[in-house]
Structure 1
Amino acid sequence: MPRSLSRSLSRATSAVLLTLAVLHVPPAHADDPAPVTVTVNARAALATVPETGIGTNHAIWDANLGTDATADLLKDAGMKLLRYPGGSYSDIYHWADHTAPGGYVAPDTDFDTFMRGVRRTGAQPMVTANYGTGTAEEAAAWVRHANVTKGYGVKYWEIGNENYGNGHYGTAWEADDHADKSPAEYARHVVAYSDAMKAVDPTIKIGAVLTTPAEWPDALVAEGDAGTWNEVVLSTAGKKIDFVILHWYPGALDKTARIPDMLDLVRRQIAEHVGAGSERVGIAMTEFNTGSSSNGTNTQPGALAAADAYATLLAGGVFTVDWWNVRNGIGKVTQVEGHTDYGDFGLLSSGTCTADGSVCEPALNTPFAPYYALQMVSRFARPGDRFIRAATDQAKVAAHAVRRSDGGLAVLLINTSSDTSYPVAIDYSGFSPASGAPTVLTHTNGATSITTSATGSATSRTLPPLSLTTVILRPASAQADLPGAPGQPAASDVTDRTAAITWPAASAGARPIVKYEVYRQNGAVSEQIGETAGTSLTAANLKPGTRYTVNVIARDSGGGASAPSAPLTFTTGTPASSSCSVRLTKQTDWASGYVGSIDVTNHGAPINGWTLTFGWPRAWQSLGSGWSAVWTQNGREVKVVNEAGNGSLPTGGSVTIGFVGNYSGPNVLPAVFTLNGTVCTTR
């Protein structure tokens, strides 16, 4: 190219660039996404991270169960609980002779070998006693061997595994030699097992199997039963157990939002059917997996869902979440987000191949993506940390946070987008991060480790696609001699509009405590609902039929604030008296829908023409059909108008109407009904 032409082109290029700058032509990255707002609220406390929070299942058909390499990998992943002898094998396994008739038992997988691995891992054991083909005496002998003879100190003992899968509801996968396969029979044996096992060691904790809300066969009532599996088991055996057992294989990667309702429904069942002292009954999720090979059981999407679910379950007070399982073997092979998914539900590769030998897993003990997800959660949320509220304004990005005992804070950010790097702007309430770069842990799609760096700032970060990021922060300044946190609040005299909240006093720091502030959690925002110089407050102006979670903070004479109390959750009712009342009854339920009957009674002046309205509590609920009235649904609101023949309701008069309600998640029933604009008493 002639030199003169080159100079001319250079001048022309400069002129074009100058013109673009003057015209403010957007740069090539102008279509990048707007920053995602992440809100972290240190005043909105949730559950404390338990010692046994992060766990996994061992299976006696895994020949590598007892190896040092396995124990060391699990220790490095932060495993704090190991469950044995493995799923449905629990109901055919006889510990004394290490046999499982009808199943394969690998060498070197006996109980003592398992316990050696537990100790090397630094975890606690969870043992499942054989209900299906065993006896209470056999289980008691196992407790004697473990805790008296060997001194292992095994604290947690389950009675059976998924025993509702014994054919009682029409589908059978769980061994059960009992002629009576009803929940009542299982509950009677739970009582016998508990008595026999605690006679050997009164310090152990006994768990009973429940169905998981909205997962089959939850809500079904079989012929001859007095109620659902959960109702019957809790009513009969509730006084003899210390925890309940849930299993969850959601089959999709977007169901984490259902966990709070899942746990709330289980706690309501425990409170109703166990009665006084029911708060001592804990919840264990002893089997969890994403449950869908099409979405990636051992690739990054499944890993992200695992991290989100573990954090949500633990923040909700579950005392252990146990992955299914350490090794599982090759299944359906697919390509997921650029990587081979082997359809393996394990954390570690078993090195197996497909039946035709065309595809083999990586070498034995190679960690799959969920291994790194659980390792990330263990480094993010350590035992003794307290979960606090965190939220985002982008559905593709999830956030969790914990406050640490040293005053620091950690934030876990999960980007589930396949192709978008999201910048995030983090806003902190009740916490001031130190200046300088925080410690950052990152795991990205296809990575074979978690990277650690000190980069960026506490308030902004860019999340790669399909990534886990933990930001670990120090406080800007250590505030010594602040008040201690108030004790666990309690609620009483809960009505439709008010609740009496009390709490144990906080310990004073360097200055006297002058008041307590009570905050309601509204998402990740704390809204103050009152303050007092004492240790009780009546919360007013509440909404009927609404679940509230509150924390209490102590404030000293210098303005210093304590850490928040543990959370208190309660649900308001409906008016004690009204000009109308409503009774909603489930006639029958098939675990994805139900027939409901609504009795409406008029206690006021005679009515000629009526309209009943209510709202579905959750987006996964809908109206299927209705009768004895004209039914319509708009969004979540359901409107029911009288037919020509039943519009007249004299004082004391009633009308009964019916409907089919559909649901695909925890079925929180409607609680608030209005008749011609008046909120009714729900009976």
Structure 2
Amino acid sequence: MRPTVVALAALALTASALATPAYAAEPDARVTVNARAGLATVSDAAVGVNHAVWDSQLGTDAVADLLKDAGVQLMRYPGGSYADIYHWRDNTAPGGYVAPNTDFDHFMSGVNRAGAQAMIIANYGGGTPQEAADWVRYANVEKNYGVKYWEIGNEIYGNGHYGSAWENDEHADKSPAAYATNVKAYAEAMKAVDPTIKIGLVLTTPGNWPDGIVAGGDDGSWNKVVLSIAGPSVDFAILHWYPGGSNGPDLFTKTEHITDMAWLVRKQIDQYAGGRKLGIAMTELNTDFGRNTQPGALFAADAYASLMAAGVFSIDWWNVHNGMGTVSTVAGHTDYNDFGLLSSANCTEDNSVCQPPLNTPFAPYFGLSMTAKFARPGDQLIRAGSTDPLVKAHAARRANGDLAVMLINQDPAAARTVSLSYAGYSPASAAQVLTFGNGDTAIATTTGTATSATLPPYSLTTLILHPSGSVAGPAAPGQPTASAVTDRAATISWPASSGAVKYELYRQNGTTSEQWGETTGTSFAVGNLTPGTRYTANVVARDGAGRVSWASPPITFQTGTPASSDCAVTLTDASNWGNGFVGSVDITNNDTNAIDSWTLTFSWPTTWQQLSSGWNGTWSQTGRTVKVSNVDWNQKIAPGATINVGFVGSYSGPNVAPTLFTLNGKPCTTR
């Protein structure tokens, strides 16, 4: 009988194994999309490019059609630093080459064929306000081109005032004050012709030279002086960004700078522009690595989406055509080190390497094209995040109820499996899937699901989703504002929403929305906040049927420090050289008792800031946290007395100032 029992047991085990359900493998990344965490709305000029008068293909039908196919919405002319030597009437640029058939009318012919808008750079370096005003008259009065956006000069801070001189500026005074004063004259003359146009002035990009530097005789940095004088006379601020990057991983981290970059520029606008709410345009953008290969495409898509989410209304790739540089192999493909989106069909000097046929798109072209398919004018970017640092996620909600999710696999060697979940949105199960992989020459379209995807190595993937049910609901609340902001509280207010019976206020904490409260009114007082902390919040409306609106635009504010404390701290940027600065710190004892031994603590707001050295104390840094403790001779701080310590800090991105200092563990008032 024993063999029979064993056989029966074996059969039972086999049957049990066959009956055991198979479990799906754990995905490489979990992506969360939160429709309640609303970001900025995409403008109708978001996806832009630069066009230069030395480009023989400017305005041609072939190029216009390629740009239209890519979804390009804006073209900038006449091309970077050439703008400050260019004279539009006779299509000349003294000292530079101008290709045939690149005059303004040829340019506008290409713009119109592509269904795009134009952004024009008025010649500041060698021009006059009258020349610029005449251009506005010709464009918008005589020819009815309806050119809306006009910049005053290109990178004027590169006129030699800070030492480096690459930008033509024929004014005797090359200071930021002179530029700003002249900008006012340009704006007045140009708007006298067409008051509907939008004028932009040149700012320096936070964390990029010469941001933060104060030259001799100036009342402050370039941005402070220019905004203080000309801010009330213009409509938008102009930034350029070439973030560098020596390899893929280095390049891909640069987009982490964008949130702080936009935050600092808006703080400067709020502080110095006389109450004027200026838009922000990134009118030049490119990279130092993988310019024609897949890293450039992945960076372009991530940067465009991140900048749009931060409220930048136009992002313009440099350039449509540019020409070959040093040739290398990147991710298995030839990179010509060419700033252009399209091939110029030129060769190395010895003709050993030639580019593909004229106007062949390089990989970043498809990065822009994927971005335009992902986020269209009027779409609202919403918060998305990934558990895998090599998978970037962006999401956009559409007026018709659809949702788009763009996923970027930054791993050059391995595919990534992704599971997706949604908060505040219920997708139908099926999805349209757009994919652009390493070495591809077109964006492929397939079908998939809303809850999972496999991302090829070094790829861009966009899921287009439909809602599972009705998307009807009340209108989204308007732009909230923050008032009565203290160290622990703030009041958030917003315009009423039609059809709403109540409102819910949510704080964005990554991809999670934390409800602060609800009200039938249009304001809400928030308490129990943390001093010196930046908060982003949205409002959603509910109607009588319980249906929920889209999220409002975001409001971002920063709490202060205690109005009164036993200690006060003043941090001064005493000297700045573009990637480092001297910080002078005054510590005041506000108590009636002397302080006997002390430690001051603060945290850098970003990962790219670092303590280099310090004096008048014992300095150290662990992670982002910086501490300085007394030395023997300044151990005691008498009541009402102030002592000074100092440090050298370095940075490789936006230099966001620390907001909260504690002395022996107690928060100080920051002056």
Pairwise TM-score range, normalised by the shorter structure: over 0.9
Q: Describe the SS at the equivalent of 2:467.
A: coil
| CA shift for structure 1 position 563 | 1.3
- Residue 493 of structure 2 is aligned with which of 499, 502, 515? 502
For 1:268 and 1:48, the matched residues in 2 are separated by 20
Q: Describe the SS at the equivalent of 2:633.
A: coil
| CA shift for structure 1 position 406 | 0.5
Q: After the TM superposition, which residues 458-497 of structure 1 pair with which residues of structure 2 at under 5 Å, given as runs?
A: 458-480=450-472, 482-497=473-488
- Residue 200 of structure 2 is aligned with which of 195, 207, 210? 207
| CA shift for structure 1 position 232 | 0.8
Does residue 623 of the first structure (1) align with residue 623 of the second (2)? Answer: no
- Residue 142 of structure 1 is aligned with which of 119, 124, 135? 135
For 1:256 and 1:479, the matched residues in 2 are separated by 33
| CA shift for structure 1 position 530 | 1.4
For 1:321 and 1:150, the matched residues in 2 are separated by 26
Please, what TM-score do these two structures have when normalized by structure 2? 0.95
For 1:658 and 1:506, the matched residues in 2 are separated by 51
- Residue 369 of structure 2 is aligned with which of 363, 367, 375? 375
For 2:207 and 2:44, the matched residues in 1 are separated by 29
User: 1:33–1:422: 8 Å Cα contact kept in structure 2?
Assistant: no
Q: Which amino acid aligns with 1:464?
A: P
| CA shift for structure 1 position 558 | 3.3
Q: Describe the SS at the equivalent of 1:206.
A: strand
- Residue 597 of structure 1 is aligned with which of 566, 573, 584? 584
For 2:544 and 2:635, the matched residues in 1 are separated by 62
Question: 1:12-60 CA deviation, whole Å, 9 max, x = no partner?
Answer: xxx9xx99x98xxxx9xx9x98430101000010010100000000000
For 1:566 and 1:619, the matched residues in 2 are separated by 27
Question: 1:361-390 CA deviation, whole Å, 9 max, x = no partner?
Answer: 000010000001100100110101100000
Question: 1:115-143 CA deviation, whole Å, 9 max, x = no partner?
Answer: 11110010000000001111111111111
User: 2:27–2:419: 8 Å Cα contact kept in structure 1?
Assistant: no
Q: After the TM superposition, which residues 245-256 of structure 1 pair with which residues of structure 2 at under 5 Å, given as runs?
A: 245-252=238-245, 253=251, 254-256=253-255
Does residue 289 of the first structure (1) align with residue 286 of the second (2)? Answer: yes
Q: Which amino acid aligns with 1:596?
A: G
| CA shift for structure 1 position 514 | 3.8
Does residue 636 of the first structure (1) align with residue 624 of the second (2)? Answer: yes
Question: Hey, what does 2:574 align to over in structure 1?
Answer: 587
Q: Describe the SS at the equivalent of 1:434.
A: strand
Question: Hey, what does 1:274 align to over in structure 2?
Answer: 273
Q: Which runs of 5+ in 1 are unaligned?
A: 1-14
Question: Hey, what does 1:403 align to over in structure 2?
Answer: 397
Does residue 555 of the first structure (1) align with residue 542 of the second (2)? Answer: yes
Q: Which amino acid aligns with 1:477?
A: G
User: 2:28–2:388: 8 Å Cα contact kept in structure 1?
Assistant: no
User: 1:282–1:318: 8 Å Cα contact kept in structure 2?
Assistant: yes
Q: Which runs of 5+ in 2 are unaligned?
A: 1-9, 246-250
| CA shift for structure 1 position 532 | 1.5
For 2:200 and 2:544, the matched residues in 1 are separated by 47
Q: Describe the SS at the equivalent of 1:335.
A: strand
Question: 1:242-296 CA deviation, whole Å, 9 max, x = no partner?
Answer: 00100001112220011000000001111111122x22x1000000011x1xx21
| CA shift for structure 1 position 358 | 1.2
For 1:275 and 1:261, the matched residues in 2 are separated by 22
| CA shift for structure 1 position 178 | 1.3
Q: Describe the SS at the equivalent of 1:202.
A: coil
Does residue 237 of the first structure (1) align with residue 230 of the second (2)? Answer: yes
| CA shift for structure 1 position 515 | 2.3
| CA shift for structure 1 position 228 | 0.8
Q: Which amino acid aligns with 1:468?
A: L
Question: Hey, what does 1:90 align to over in structure 2?
Answer: 83
User: 2:38–2:538: 8 Å Cα contact kept in structure 1?
Assistant: yes
Q: Describe the SS at the equivalent of 2:269.
A: helix
Q: Which amino acid aligns with 1:601?
A: T
| CA shift for structure 1 position 557 | 3.5
| CA shift for structure 1 position 488 | 1.4
Q: Describe the SS at the equivalent of 2:157.
A: helix
Question: Hey, what does 1:76 align to over in structure 2?
Answer: 69
| CA shift for structure 1 position 181 | 1.1
| CA shift for structure 1 position 396 | 0.7
For 2:294 and 2:72, the matched residues in 1 are separated by 20
Q: After the TM superposition, which residues 304-383 of structure 1 pair with which residues of structure 2 at under 5 Å, given as runs?
A: 304-383=298-377
For 2:313 and 2:257, the matched residues in 1 are separated by 18
Question: Hey, what does 2:4 align to over in structure 1?
Answer: none
Question: 1:594-629 CA deviation, whole Å, 9 max, x = no partner?
Answer: 101111111112211111111111111111111111
Q: After the TM superposition, which residues 57-68 of structure 1 pair with which residues of structure 2 at under 5 Å, given as runs?
A: 57-68=50-61
Q: Which amino acid aligns with 1:140?
A: A
**Cα RMSD (Å):** 1.7
| CA shift for structure 1 position 645 | 1.2
For 1:172 and 1:349, the matched residues in 2 are separated by 30
Question: 1:493-533 CA deviation, whole Å, 9 max, x = no partner?
Answer: 1001100111111111xxxx442110000111111111112
Question: 1:115-172 CA deviation, whole Å, 9 max, x = no partner?
Answer: 1111001000000000111111111111111111111111111000001111111111
Question: 1:531-573 CA deviation, whole Å, 9 max, x = no partner?
Answer: 1121111111111111111001112343321111111111111
Q: Percent identity?
A: 64
Question: 1:327-383 CA deviation, whole Å, 9 max, x = no partner?
Answer: 011111000011000111111101111112111100001000000110010011010
User: 1:247–1:286: 8 Å Cα contact kept in structure 2?
Assistant: yes
For 1:632 and 1:95, the matched residues in 2 are separated by 57
Please, what TM-score do these two structures have when normalized by structure 1? 0.93
Q: Which amino acid aligns with 2:81?
A: S
User: 2:49–2:317: 8 Å Cα contact kept in structure 1?
Assistant: yes
| CA shift for structure 1 position 70 | 0.6
Q: Which amino acid aligns with 2:176?
A: P
Does residue 52 of the first structure (1) align with residue 45 of the second (2)? Answer: yes
| CA shift for structure 1 position 650 | 2.0
User: 1:296–1:343: 8 Å Cα contact kept in structure 2?
Assistant: yes
For 1:485 and 1:225, the matched residues in 2 are separated by 45
For 2:285 and 2:153, the matched residues in 1 are separated by 17
Does residue 415 of the first structure (1) align with residue 415 of the second (2)? Answer: no
- Residue 128 of structure 1 is aligned with which of 101, 111, 121? 121
Q: Describe the SS at the equivalent of 1:553.
A: strand
Runs of 4+ in 1 over 4 A off after TM superposition: none
Question: Hey, what does 1:9 align to over in structure 2?
Answer: none
Question: Hey, what does 2:93 align to over in structure 1?
Answer: 100
Which segment is superposed worse, 650-659 or 368-377? 650-659
For 2:350 and 2:171, the matched residues in 1 are separated by 40
Does residue 655 of the first structure (1) align with residue 649 of the second (2)? Answer: no
Q: After the TM superposition, which residues 12-27 of structure 1 pair with which residues of structure 2 at under 5 Å, given as runs?
A: none
**Count of aligned pairs between the two proteins:** 649
Question: Hey, what does 2:7 align to over in structure 1?
Answer: none
